[in-house]
Chains A and B, each alone.
Chain A
Amino acid sequence: MRYADGRMIAEQLAGKRIAITGSTGFVGTALVERLLRSAPGCSLVLLVRPSKRHDATERVRREIFKNNCFDRLKGELAAAGVETFEEMVARRVVAIGGDVSTDGLGLTDAERPLFAGCDIIIHSAAAVSFDSPLDSAVEINLLGPVRIAEACHAMNITPHLVGVSTCYVAGNRRGHAPEALVSEGHWDIGLNWRKEVAASRRLRGDIEAKSRTTEQLTFFRSEARKELGAAGGPALASKTENLRESWVKAQLVEAGRSRAASVGWPDAYAYTKALGEQALTEVKGNLPVNIVRPSIIESALAEPFPGWIRGFRMAEPVILSYARGLLSEFPGVPEGIVDVIPVDIVVAAIITVAATGPSAPYITQVASGSTNPLRYKSMVDDIRAWFTEHPLYDSEGQPIVVPEWKFPARGRVKEQLARAKSVAAKTERVLQALPLRGKQASWAASLEEKKNDIDRAYEYVQLYGLYTECEAVYSVEKLLTVWDTLDATDQAAFNFDPRSVDWTKYISGIHLPSIVHHSRAKVTPGKSKIDRTARLRKSVLSPDRHVAAFDLENTLISSNVVESYSWLATRRLNTPERIRYVLRTLAEAPTLQKVDRKDRSDFLRFFYRRYEDAPVSQIEEDSQELLSNLILAKSFPAGLRRVREHRALGHKTILITGALDFAVEGLRPLFDEIVAAKLSVRPDGTYSGNMAVVPPTGETRAEILADYCSSENLRLEDSIAYADSTSDLPMLEAVGFPVAVNPETRLAAIARKRGWLVEHWDKASGAPKMFLPLGPMMAERERKRVFR
């Protein structure tokens, strides 16, 4: 197109300063790249929200310019040799901290003039997730454009504002969707956007308040305990608060979905975007505004290179779930239209609108459905054919066969998934209640992973089902009018013609290879060469580590304090006394177990009272034999070997156990430090039954380890902790390299989720068998002093 003064798009933008919001997003990144490459005369002001860790400039450097989107531009600049990419960026791009969800955009006094000096503002910031909580969708999607307009009014400037919206503002309608405001259409129900904002803010307050009622808090606490077990106060508190926050979020997501549905939109995203357009139109005043509405944006057709994509969007997770065999059915109408548009076409349309200025159509839709429709069935066929030819491989290296698509109705799929979900949830609950350990527990944890897969599939169907069933056809008349005014050079440089896409070629040749590459899915047969466990083990056994902390029971030995007590207590008993002892202990077992479940350290204190009146010298003497007789016989040789491997590597080793010091004395040569419980001794040389040093449990273990590290000048991040149960979670979380040993189900699930090393250590199979943990009977004359 020749503009009034005869200049082309690039020339039109030369000398212009363009502000961009949402530049770290998918469209934003592509927009920045295209402007820098194809409109060399313009300069950019990027409004980026500072994160907790990084300011705007740093975020831009990390999140935008490191993206492979810029590889082409970097190459071209290097070939030209005039200036480096960094020099060009320094010359043309400035980043300022800004946030569209804050009034006044959160600009500082120093940054405001930079923003005020812009000729064009392209607003592409959005909460694009379909399942955003209602309030945050409202703040960003609805109020974002309003705040930009108001900021301009406040600064008394009138730059050209180009807002990026979505075709789906049209809502759940069928047939023709024109390039016009929804609020001005036939079917508008006359919503007041200010009331919607107020309502969403109120809802946030209500749900927050509800989440803090005693009833809810008790529920969160019990859920946290179910998940973590006896992990100690702080860990439970943090988990409880975590659960509360996610509950609030889930409630707001649900609220968004139902509010949107109640007023005719598929989800909160489309609903807030539609109201955002309406609001912007209402508040824009003398600000020149244009709106660009893309449909579903997918990977690039050609620019900067075919298949470029950033982040995982709507279709990708669904497609990959299908390729992985997780999703065998997805609702949709076979002859329905899936309105997909490559990102470079969208970007070219936005740039053209920006270059054209206010004379461009008020609303331009960038969609494919009306001129070059992609039918759901032909898309599915292309996907299936491609994955049949290029299957993904499972962890065993076997190709995954993709199922045939049956185009079921959404209701049926949802029903099936809901059924699978409830079975999985029930199985999980049963498994968690079982006292599983080690390999079985890991297996139970893998079932949980299956459950999560089902959950995810259910979410996809819930979220995206509407889009594959959408029967609206988005008109692109105005877009094509603009297209026709461009001359051949601009058309070549800024292609936004939806008719130029060959769908089969695009799906098989560009999109699928790109997303499979991005997903890092396994695309070659055979078992992975690098075993994850071996890799983790190697990082744990690296000379760079500092400290290795070990729990004792079920981590290094398969015994417990009750057994060592029994052994010591019966060492000097004769047969009838032994029988009485066993019977008495069995009778007490349920009480003991109950106390133990409630609080580990209470249990230990309560139990250790039994040592009252025991002569210290006798216990010391008998404890020496305890090592051979009980501890070593029940030890995990691989565990003991691991302790020694750490020592050989120069790591400090520390044993942190609730057992009594004399019971673990035999293990002294393995450890630099042993932290154990200690009984106080009376002047007459007997134990008092009271604690001199309380048994370290839960978060105290993490503290002990942290103190040890700081006193020895060692780094906790470079330390390793080995433990078997969630009661040691604080310690495991405190270190850089946690290892779950023979984990019980809950810990197995956590370890799996967080990618921790899991070790399965077993007793030596030739260990002498012990029916009851009783000390070997002494000869009559040696049973001098007896305690019970």
Chain B
Amino acid sequence: MPRPGFVLEVDRSTPSILFWRGENFSLEKLPAGRSRVIYPPEPLDAIKDIDGAIRHALLNPIDQDPLPALLFPGMKLTIAFDDVSLPLPKMERPDNRQRVIEAVLDLVAEAGVDDVHLIAALGLHRRMHEYELRHALGDRIYDAFHSRGMLYQHDAEDHDNLAVIGTTDHGEVLEINKRAAESDLVIYVNINSVSMDGGWKSITTGLASYRCLSFHHNPETLENTRSLMGHRHHSALHTSVWRLGKVLKDHGPKIFQIETTLNTDMFPKPFEFINKREWEWTAKDRATFLGTTKALNRTPIKLARKIFHGMEGPHQMTSVQAGETEAVHKLTLEHVYKQQLVEVQGQTDILTMGIPFVSPYNPDGVMNPVLVMCMGLGYLFNMYRNKPLVREGGVIIMTHPTYRDFNPVHHPSYIDFFEQVLTDTTSPAEMSRKWEKQYAEDEWYKHLYRTGNAYHGVHPFYAWYWGAHGLQHAGKVIIVGGDAPTVRRLGFTPASTMDDAFEIASDVVGRNATITHLHVPALLVADVQ
């Protein structure tokens, strides 16, 4: 029976605590008496018979007819699936998407449906490489569908293949992939790593056009998104998405939503110590930690990246549910929270977090400085329910090397964003006003997004807006161990050690400030009371 998450009060006997630092780790001593560490629940047990569970979900959907009843010969069927941003790190084969889609295709074949398209729902993310599609779907599906042109990736700039479904009472236009819009049935296959994903967000972002996304991916909405991972009605983003969902439900194609959840068994063998609580480390764990960090210190950074990005998580499916979108999502959230929720009493003055080598926007690529901000203030800061872990005006301390490295294939517009926009302003509102349009409409970025493997030109803005609430909420952001000029460019304060960072923080929050460390990843959502 896995143990639930818990909050450790740091005392003099508490060992040093593990922090991620990009492609490495460090152990940091937290001040006794005023610090606490939030540990995630241990990985839940996986479903025993995964394929059986999938088939059961397809045949017994919630608030929806069984899948076979929705299929008929001659119909137009579209299967959309989450892209490479999920899960992190990539899971050992077979991926949830492969398992689910293979099961779906069995039923589709039985029903004699021929017109089946598979679309990677990548929104404005980069197109997946062939090896990534093969990893997510398996070779059998890839080989059968790709060469016939029936497996492809969504293109938010292909105006001939986008269709308007309708407009919300707030004036938001729902414009999605035309093939999906014109299908008799759209099946969406999710991997719900975190609670903000899934539900109506799947189709209204994954298959949406740039215009459609810009209604909620903007500084104003995201500053008012007061709980990305918690209650939906605290999130302006989700409120907007749910309005679009209503339009989809009323005027769009019939939808069959499939959501799957994973446990937090994220790291393969030599890295098991990451998921353990430090005082429970065995001699072997300590040796592995020491050996790993020492070795990584000597490894060229490019090789270290290769090792980390090549890592496959053993994560296992903990639930699968299918049927009507909202009903399915409700159940999914229960499963996600069961795995990730930890009850925490009260806010803190200083929130510390280790930033890992990967974020949803750099699978198989470099975590560039813009993504460090996005990961810290956009994702980890938002891992709460009710209210943020850190009090308003408090300090956020991250650990990451924050090197000035960019992947030119995946993140071309990020490079220019860093050089052009961040030298001008770090304010989401100002950059949105002055720069966003130029990047969003740039022909070269569009070309690279549509034909290469690049994120959309506007994506660095979205990554930055993702942290808008955190930016507004925090009194100061410090990065420990980062390249100083780069950290300053982000508008943050560089510090060389954790102790220095606490010193710097004391200017804002005083000498006896309380400290809380978010022990992620693995994933956790702090339910702050």
A486 at the interface (CB under 8 A from B): no
B143 at the interface (CB under 8 A from A): yes
Q: How far is the CA of A776 from the CA of B411 in the complex (A)?
A: 20
13 contacts between A and B (CB under 8 A): A628-B409, A632-B454, A637-B406, A637-B416, A640-B412, A641-B416, A669-B447, A763-B408, A764-B408, A765-B406, A766-B365, A767-B407, A779-B143
Q: In chain A, residues 633-653, which have Cβ atoms closer than 8 Å to a Cβ of chain B?
A: 633, 635, 637-638, 640-641, 644, 648
Asked if residues A627 and B451 are in contact (CB atoms below 8 Å), the reply is yes
Q: How far is the CA of A629 from the CA of B410 in the complex (A)?
A: 11
CB of B120 to closest CB in A, whole Å: 16
Q: In chain A, residues 753-775, which have Cβ atoms closer than 8 Å to a Cβ of chain B?
A: 763-769
Q: In chain A, residues 687-723, which have Cβ atoms closer than 8 Å to a Cβ of chain B?
A: none
Asked if residues A766 and B366 are in contact (CB atoms below 8 Å), the reply is yes
List of 9 A-B pairs having minimum Cβ-Cβ separation, nearest first: A766-B366, A766-B405, A764-B408, A628-B452, A669-B447, A637-B415, A765-B405, A764-B406, A769-B302
Q: Knowing A764-B415, A765-B403, A779-B143 touch, does A635 contact B451 (C-beta < 8 A)?
A: no
Q: In the complex, which residues of chain B have a beta carbon less than 8 angstroms from the beta carbon of A628?
A: 409, 452-454
B194 at the interface (CB under 8 A from A): no
CB of A47 to closest CB in B, whole Å: 60
Q: Knowing A637-B416, A641-B416 touch, does A632 contact B448 (C-beta < 8 A)?
A: yes
Q: Knowing A624-B451, A628-B453 touch, does A764 contact B444 (C-beta < 8 A)?
A: no
Q: In the complex, which residues of chain A have a beta carbon less than 8 angstroms from the beta carbon of B448?
A: 627, 632
Asked if residues A669 and B407 are in contact (CB atoms below 8 Å), the reply is no
B443 at the interface (CB under 8 A from A): yes
Q: How far is the CA of A635 from the CA of B411 in the complex (A)?
A: 12
Q: In the complex, which residues of chain A have a beta carbon less than 8 angstroms from the beta carbon of B411?
A: 766
Q: How far is the CA of A400 from the CA of B473 in the complex (A)?
A: 52
B404 at the interface (CB under 8 A from A): yes
Asked if residues B408 and A670 are in contact (CB atoms below 8 Å), the reply is no
Q: How far is the CA of A781 from the CA of B147 in the complex (A)?
A: 11
Asked if residues A670 and B444 are in contact (CB atoms below 8 Å), the reply is yes
A666 at the interface (CB under 8 A from B): yes
CB of A620 to closest CB in B, whole Å: 13
Q: In the complex, which residues of chain A have a beta carbon less than 8 angstroms from the beta carbon of B406?
A: 637, 764-766
Other-chain residue from A640, A666, A764, A779 in contact with B451 (beta carbon distance below 8 A): A666
CB of A773 to closest CB in B, whole Å: 14
Other-chain residue from A632, A641, A648, A769 in contact with B452 (beta carbon distance below 8 A): A632
Interface residues on B, range: 20 to 34
CB of B358 to closest CB in A, whole Å: 13
Q: Knowing A669-B443, A765-B403 touch, does A637 contact B412 (C-beta < 8 A)?
A: yes
The chain B residue sitting closest to A643, CB to CB, is B444
Taking A633-B409, A765-B405, A766-B411 as known contacts, 4 extra A-B pairs with beta carbons closer than 8 A to each other, sorted by chain A number, are A628-B452, A637-B408, A641-B420, A669-B447
CB of A482 to closest CB in B, whole Å: 71
The chain A residue sitting closest to B442, CB to CB, is A644
Q: In the complex, which residues of chain A have a beta carbon less than 8 angstroms from the beta carbon of B306?
A: 769
Q: How far is the CA of A640 from the CA of B454 in the complex (A)?
A: 15
Other-chain residue from B302, B368, B403, B408 in contact with A632 (beta carbon distance below 8 A): B408
The chain B residue sitting closest to A764, CB to CB, is B408
Total interface residues on A, using CB and 8 Å? 28
B419 at the interface (CB under 8 A from A): yes
Q: Which of B408, B415, B438 has the most CB of A within 10 A?
A: B408
Asked if residues A632 and B447 are in contact (CB atoms below 8 Å), the reply is no
CB of A617 to closest CB in B, whole Å: 15
Q: How far is the CA of A768 from the CA of B451 in the complex (A)?
A: 19
Q: In the complex, which residues of chain A have a beta carbon less than 8 angstroms from the beta carbon of B419?
A: 638, 641
Q: How far is the CA of A763 from the CA of B365 in the complex (A)?
A: 15
Q: In the complex, which residues of chain B have a beta carbon less than 8 angstroms from the beta carbon of A764?
A: 405-408, 415
CB of A662 to closest CB in B, whole Å: 14
Q: In the complex, which residues of chain A have a beta carbon less than 8 angstroms from the beta carbon of B415?
A: 637, 641, 764
Asked if residues B442 and A633 are in contact (CB atoms below 8 Å), the reply is no
The chain B residue sitting closest to A638, CB to CB, is B419
CB of A463 to closest CB in B, whole Å: 50
Asked if residues B443 and A635 are in contact (CB atoms below 8 Å), the reply is no
The chain B residue sitting closest to A634, CB to CB, is B408
Q: In the complex, which residues of chain B have a beta carbon less than 8 angstroms from the beta carbon of A640?
A: 412, 444
Q: How far is the CA of A212 from the CA of B139 in the complex (A)?
A: 74
CB of A689 to closest CB in B, whole Å: 28
Q: In the complex, which residues of chain A have a beta carbon less than 8 angstroms from the beta carbon of B416?
A: 637, 641
Q: How far is the CA of A779 from the CA of B443 in the complex (A)?
A: 33
The proximity string for B residues 407-444 relative to A, scoring 1 for CB distances below 8 Å and 0 otherwise, is 11101100110011000000000000000001000111
The chain A residue sitting closest to B302, CB to CB, is A769
Q: In the complex, which residues of chain B have a beta carbon less than 8 angstroms from the beta carbon of A670?
A: 444
Q: Knowing A624-B451, A637-B416, A666-B451 touch, does A767 contact B409 (C-beta < 8 A)?
A: yes
Q: Which of A629, A668, A765 has the most CB of B within 10 A?
A: A765
Q: In the complex, which residues of chain A have a beta carbon less than 8 angstroms from the beta carbon of B453?
A: 628
Q: How far is the CA of A763 from the CA of B302 in the complex (A)?
A: 14
CB of B182 to closest CB in A, whole Å: 27
Q: How far is the CA of A727 from the CA of B406 in the complex (A)?
A: 32
CB of B157 to closest CB in A, whole Å: 12
CB of A655 to closest CB in B, whole Å: 13
The chain B residue sitting closest to A641, CB to CB, is B416
CB of A107 to closest CB in B, whole Å: 64
The chain A residue sitting closest to B368, CB to CB, is A766
Q: Knowing A640-B412, A644-B444, A781-B143 touch, does A766 contact B451 (C-beta < 8 A)?
A: no
CB of B72 to closest CB in A, whole Å: 32
Q: How far is the CA of A648 from the CA of B452 in the complex (A)?
A: 22
Q: In the complex, which residues of chain A have a beta carbon less than 8 angstroms from the beta carbon of B143?
A: 779, 781
Asked if residues B408 and A635 are in contact (CB atoms below 8 Å), the reply is yes
CB of B458 to closest CB in A, whole Å: 15
Q: How far is the CA of A766 from the CA of B405 in the complex (A)?
A: 4
Q: How far is the CA of A670 from the CA of B412 in the complex (A)?
A: 14
Q: In the complex, which residues of chain B have a beta carbon less than 8 angstroms from the beta carbon of A666?
A: 451-452
Q: In the complex, which residues of chain A have a beta carbon less than 8 angstroms from the beta carbon of B405?
A: 764-766
The chain A residue sitting closest to B405, CB to CB, is A766
CB of A51 to closest CB in B, whole Å: 47
The chain B residue sitting closest to A632, CB to CB, is B409
Q: How far is the CA of A644 from the CA of B343 in the complex (A)?
A: 51
Q: How far is the CA of A284 from the CA of B147 in the complex (A)?
A: 102
Q: Which of B147, B420, B444, B451 has the most CB of A within 10 A?
A: B444
The proximity string for A residues 612-636 relative to B, scoring 1 for CB distances below 8 Å and 0 otherwise, is 0000000000001001110011010
CB of A84 to closest CB in B, whole Å: 52
Q: How far is the CA of A644 from the CA of B441 in the complex (A)?
A: 13
The proximity string for B residues 290-303 relative to A, scoring 1 for CB distances below 8 Å and 0 otherwise, is 00000000000010
CB of A634 to closest CB in B, whole Å: 8
Q: Knowing A764-B405, A765-B403, A766-B365 touch, does A632 contact B451 (C-beta < 8 A)?
A: no
Q: How far is the CA of A635 from the CA of B452 in the complex (A)?
A: 14
Q: How far is the CA of A629 from the CA of B306 in the complex (A)?
A: 16
Asked if residues A767 and B451 are in contact (CB atoms below 8 Å), the reply is no
Q: How far is the CA of A638 from the CA of B412 in the complex (A)?
A: 10
Q: In the complex, which residues of chain B have a beta carbon less than 8 angstroms from the beta carbon of A627?
A: 448, 451-452
Q: How far is the CA of A781 from the CA of B404 in the complex (A)?
A: 40
Q: In the complex, which residues of chain A have a beta carbon less than 8 angstroms from the beta carbon of B407?
A: 764, 766-768
The proximity string for A residues 576-600 relative to B, scoring 1 for CB distances below 8 Å and 0 otherwise, is 0000000000000000000000000
CB of A667 to closest CB in B, whole Å: 9
CB of A537 to closest CB in B, whole Å: 14
Q: In chain B, residues 395-409, which have Cβ atoms closer than 8 Å to a Cβ of chain A?
A: 403-409
Q: Which of A632, A640, A670, A763 has the most CB of B within 10 A?
A: A632
Q: In chain B, residues 299-337, which have Cβ atoms closer than 8 Å to a Cβ of chain A?
A: 302, 306
CB of A762 to closest CB in B, whole Å: 11
Asked if residues A765 and B404 are in contact (CB atoms below 8 Å), the reply is yes
Q: In the complex, which residues of chain A have a beta carbon less than 8 angstroms from the beta carbon of B454?
A: 628, 632
Q: In the complex, which residues of chain B have a beta carbon less than 8 angstroms from the beta carbon of A624?
A: 451
CB of A540 to closest CB in B, whole Å: 17
Q: In the complex, which residues of chain B have a beta carbon less than 8 angstroms from the beta carbon of A766?
A: 365-366, 368, 403, 405-408, 411
Q: How far is the CA of A779 from the CA of B144 in the complex (A)?
A: 13
Q: In the complex, which residues of chain B have a beta carbon less than 8 angstroms from the beta carbon of A668?
A: 447
Q: How far is the CA of A768 from the CA of B305 in the complex (A)?
A: 10
